[in-house]
Structure 1
Amino acid sequence: MTKDVIALTPKMPDLRTLLAGLYAGGPDLGVNTLADGAVIQLCAPDGRPLVSVEAPILVQVPGETARLLDHPVDGPVWWTEARASTAVAEAGRLAGSFAGRLATVLGGTVWPPEAATTDVVPLTTDVSALPVPATDAPAVDVLTATTAVVIQDRPLVAMASWLADALRTATTADRALQIVTPPTTRLTLPTRTALQGLPNRWVVQDPEHGYYDGLSGAVLHWKNGSFTPVHDEQGTPRVAAAFTPTPDTGDRQLLLTLRTRHLADKDLVLGRALETAFQHLTGAPPAGWSTAEPVNLPWSNRELTDLARSRAPHPTWFIAVGSPNRPALATARVLRTPAGVEENVTLALGYAKGEAPPLAAIEELAAELDAQHGLVTLLTALRTARRDLTVPPRLEHPPIPVAFTLGHDEAERIGPARAEHPPQGTPVQLGLTAQTALHYPLGDGTDPQAWTTFQHLTRHLNQA
């Protein structure tokens, strides 16, 4: 049974309802709070946390429960997540009883459905015989001097607020964050982005093949308080037999890596380049945005800008999603630099076999981004990968470049003599003024040789 249980209710759980849910273990268990009351913990008599409950959030973005849980819910819904300790046998059933009680009182549902109950779950484990947890952080299951380990057995691991907090805490303490899952688990793109930089890892526990890295396939073992690669006699990391190529089902992903720069003006509104990309490629602006998953806020440039201003000069990272009929997801980072305010965006869109990615729209999109939204660079690529934009623990084909665009300021910095005369082909000039963006077609996303062409191009441009 999963150790994470989520109550999805049409009404916000009030304090009285939350307390009723916390009586799932009977009157002998205690209650504690963390993070200024944002986390409530159901505790054993000795104070050991058994279930940690995040503050309810109102998910107003259509399709989020279906995207993250495969559990469609109509209309806005209150999402209350309970995470059970993996060290105590009864904790998972306690979480299920807590969520079931909320759903019963408020008329909602529980994910996963089989976890729901309203039974009292007595604590029979002798918790005094268990090692004292090294951390009271509700997201972390094992903490060492070098690593924070999170154990997850849900089908899809999203960048939830508790996981984002665990990542920030680990980074601040100079620790790695390592998520351990079964081989049936997938990651959302925001979670993959967070884990793809070492020393962070996705650790897959395969019953037949042991531990391996879900992104690289490297065989892992627990050594000196961390999961580290196993090397062969030549010193090369071994690759797990389970890390086989993902079958080609015909699904494709269109990937855009976009960088913009703006003057740090009081009237600056962020997110407009991202909004323009969504509009060109999906026919609609983003449906919602948030700093964690589930994405719960309706799309608003103004609210996003206000948040970034309040955090400046520190960076702001956020997620944006599209409407349910077209898988589209972006992560963006807003940075204050000496040159101004930069937005670094990665946008992914999913297409099934028979659905043609809108490659013809890229040139027009690049022109508008340059003319109105401070384009610095835009790289467009196509890859064989899942339409739903999730990441399995399998070998995935790398993306293949389709086009690269230089904004007019960047082209001017490099100089026309170099920027307009690449090693291969001739760039398309975008715009009607004397200063134009330069768009370099690289292929249709099917020939891996495009990587060589792109590398020659970037080497040529970087010689300026």
Structure 2
Amino acid sequence: MTKDVIALTPRMPDAWSVLAGLLSGGPDKLVRTTGEDAVVQLCDEEGRPLVSVEAPLLVQVAGEAERLLGAAAPPVPFWWTEARATTGVAEAERLAGTFAARLVSLGGGSAWPPEAARSLGVVPSDGVGVAPVPAAAQPAVDVLTDKVAVVIQDRPVVAMTAWLADAFRAAGEGGLGLQIVSPAGTTLSPAVRSALSAWPSRWVVQDERDGYYDGLSGAVLAWREGMFFPVAADDSTDEEPRARVAATYQEGVGDSGERQLAVTFRTVHPADDRLVLGGALEAVWRELTGEAPAGWGTAEPANLPWSLRRLTDVAHERAPEPTWLVVVGSPERPGLATVRVSRTKAGVEEEVTLAFGYGPDEEPPLDAVPRAAEVLATRHHLRSMLVQLRKARRDLAVPPRFEGPGVPLAFVLGAEEVRAMPGDRARNTPLDRAPVPLGPKTRPALYYPLPGDPSDLSGWQDFERLVRHLKGE
């Protein structure tokens, strides 16, 4: 049974509904709050949490329950209430299911997964023991060592939920890696993928043949010295270490005809009280899809309808600390972006990673890319931009299988960066095609076209030559 149970209700669970849910373990169970009262915990006799319940979240963005859970949700807006059971305690898992079932019975809607929330009766839990602190101190963390925090996620999509974001934050503050363990068949949200780039963080996938493997690299893993570690291949040497690659990771590799258009860019705005953030992302989104983003949030699910003003207010309230955001598109045009807003000496910086998905019968709007680049360069203080085309899933989910890398379609250098280059270095490059100026002739940005053929990785050689040239190497 899953350790996470989610109630999707058309009405906000009121105090009586939550109380009825919390009594699922009987009236003698202890209840306490944590996380600035945002999390309610149902505890055993020793005060250790059996079930942690996050404050209900109002979701106003269509398609998020379907994207993350594969579940039908009430029409937007609806309330998303998560209960997470302590790992390895069967009674705790049943308590979480009963909690969600009681919320749904009183407020309507549905629960995910359906089989976990079928009983309304009291769950016998007398004498049940729970892992001691510190493992139970962070609700999302299942195993804690001196090297990593391990989180077990039994969901269709491992998403950057508030739980998981807190786990990443706590692990980082403690100098630990975060390792996410999921069953076979689970996919990863792009919002989580970028957060797993630092060693020893990794996505650990359970596998019948090889035990465990890294869902992003395919390396077979084993638990060793307090963390999941790659298993050396038979031909591995100290000079050329190699990990054994899981057979499952290499299966089903083929061209489905699906594509992703990936865009990463960085803008730097002068610090100003009147500054409105998110405009650069919205401009690119409109150029490539013809519509604005559907919603955004500080975690997944993205719960707020798209609003530049509200996004700016959140970033302003958190300054000078950085703000991380996730932005999603409509169900008809899959799109997902992560945005990091930070204060630097140069001003207010926005780092955006964006992708759109296309089916075999859909053409990515490659002709719109130069227009999007020009809008960024002339109106949004663009510093740099890289556009790639990938053979990858339309729904943007990251599978635990090999997916080839994207290939560069274009690179853009902002006007300030061009101006800072000595002489004509930015204009005279070793590439066959000359850069295309964007914006005013006196201070243009430069658009460098690249092959962009997802079947030909040689485009990365051109990109590397270009970057080395621009750096003066």
Corresponding residue of 2:266: 259
Corresponding residue of 1:351: 358
For 2:463, give the aligned amino acid: F
For 2:470, give the aligned amino acid: L
Trace 1:307-318 onto structure 2 (pairs within 5 A).
307-318=314-325
CA distance in 1, matches of 2:387, 2:9: 40
Corresponding residue of 1:435: 443
CA distance in 1, matches of 2:78, 2:408: 39
Corresponding residue of 1:123: 124
Give % identity: 56
Could you tell me whether the CA contact under 8 Å between 2:68 and 2:156 is conserved in 1?
Answer: no
Cα deviation for residue 45 of structure 1 reads 2.4
For 2:60, give the aligned amino acid: Q
Corresponding residue of 1:219: 220
TM-score, normalised to structure 1, is: 0.96
CA distance in 1, matches of 2:328, 2:248: 32
Q: Which runs of 5+ in 2 are unaligned?
A: none
Cα deviation for residue 110 of structure 1 reads 0.7
Corresponding residue of 2:17: 17
Q: Does 1:408 pair with 2:409?
A: no
Corresponding residue of 1:444: 452
Could you tell me whether the CA contact under 8 Å between 2:204 and 2:214 is conserved in 1?
Answer: yes
For 2:446, give the aligned amino acid: L
| Count of residue pairs brought into register by the alignment | 463
For 2:250, give the aligned amino acid: T
SS at match of 1:293: coil
SS at match of 1:53: strand
Corresponding residue of 1:320: 327
Could you tell me whether the CA contact under 8 Å between 2:69 and 2:155 is conserved in 1?
Answer: no
Corresponding residue of 1:5: 5
CA distance in 1, matches of 2:417, 2:215: 37
Could you tell me whether the CA contact under 8 Å between 1:383 and 1:397 is conserved in 2?
Answer: yes
1:338-388 CA distance string (max 9 Å, x none): 111111101000000010000000001111111100011111000011100
Cα deviation for residue 13 of structure 1 reads 0.9
For 1:44, give the aligned amino acid: D
Cα deviation for residue 415 of structure 1 reads 3.7
Corresponding residue of 1:49: 49
Q: Quick check: 445-454 or 168-177, which moved more?
A: 445-454
Cα deviation for residue 115 of structure 1 reads 1.7
Q: Does 1:297 pair with 2:285?
A: no
Cα deviation for residue 230 of structure 1 reads 1.8
Cα deviation for residue 327 of structure 1 reads 0.2
For 1:56, give the aligned amino acid: P
Q: Which among 369, 372, 375 is matched to residue 365 of structure 1?
A: 372
Corresponding residue of 1:462: 471
Cα deviation for residue 131 of structure 1 reads 5.0
Corresponding residue of 1:37: 37
SS at match of 1:390: coil
CA distance in 1, matches of 2:385, 2:36: 42
For 1:450, give the aligned amino acid: G
Cα deviation for residue 416 of structure 1 reads 4.9
For 1:240, give the aligned amino acid: A
Corresponding residue of 1:181: 182
Q: Which among 340, 346, 350 is matched to residue 347 of structure 2?
A: 340
Are the structure 2 counterparts of residues 134 and 249 from structure 1 closer, same or farther at C-alpha, using a change threshold of 3 Å? Answer: same
Corresponding residue of 1:239: 245
Trace 1:87-102 onto structure 2 (pairs within 5 A).
87-102=88-103
SS at match of 1:277: helix
CA distance in 1, matches of 2:218, 2:126: 37
For 1:138, give the aligned amino acid: P
Could you tell me whether the CA contact under 8 Å between 2:25 and 2:125 is conserved in 1?
Answer: no
Are the structure 2 counterparts of residues 96 and 311 from structure 1 closer, same or farther at C-alpha, using a change threshold of 3 Å? Answer: same
Cα deviation for residue 280 of structure 1 reads 0.6
SS at match of 1:333: strand
For 1:80, give the aligned amino acid: T
SS at match of 1:242: helix
Cα deviation for residue 147 of structure 1 reads 1.1
1:75-134 CA distance string (max 9 Å, x none): 211000011112211222211111011011011111112222243243357534x65353
For 1:28, give the aligned amino acid: D
Cα deviation for residue 324 of structure 1 reads 1.4
Q: Does 1:398 pair with 2:416?
A: no
CA distance in 2, matches of 1:125, 1:204: 34
Cα deviation for residue 54 of structure 1 reads 0.5
Could you tell me whether the CA contact under 8 Å between 1:89 and 1:125 is conserved in 2?
Answer: no
Are the structure 2 counterparts of residues 339 and 102 from structure 1 closer, same or farther at C-alpha, using a change threshold of 3 Å? Answer: same
CA distance in 2, matches of 1:185, 1:196: 19
Could you tell me whether the CA contact under 8 Å between 2:261 and 2:388 is conserved in 1?
Answer: yes
TM-score, normalised to structure 2, is: 0.95
SS at match of 1:90: helix
CA distance in 1, matches of 2:124, 2:217: 41
Could you tell me whether the CA contact under 8 Å between 1:23 and 1:120 is conserved in 2?
Answer: no
Cα deviation for residue 221 of structure 1 reads 1.4
Q: Which runs of 5+ in 1 are unaligned?
A: none
For 1:37, give the aligned amino acid: D
CA distance in 1, matches of 2:315, 2:365: 31
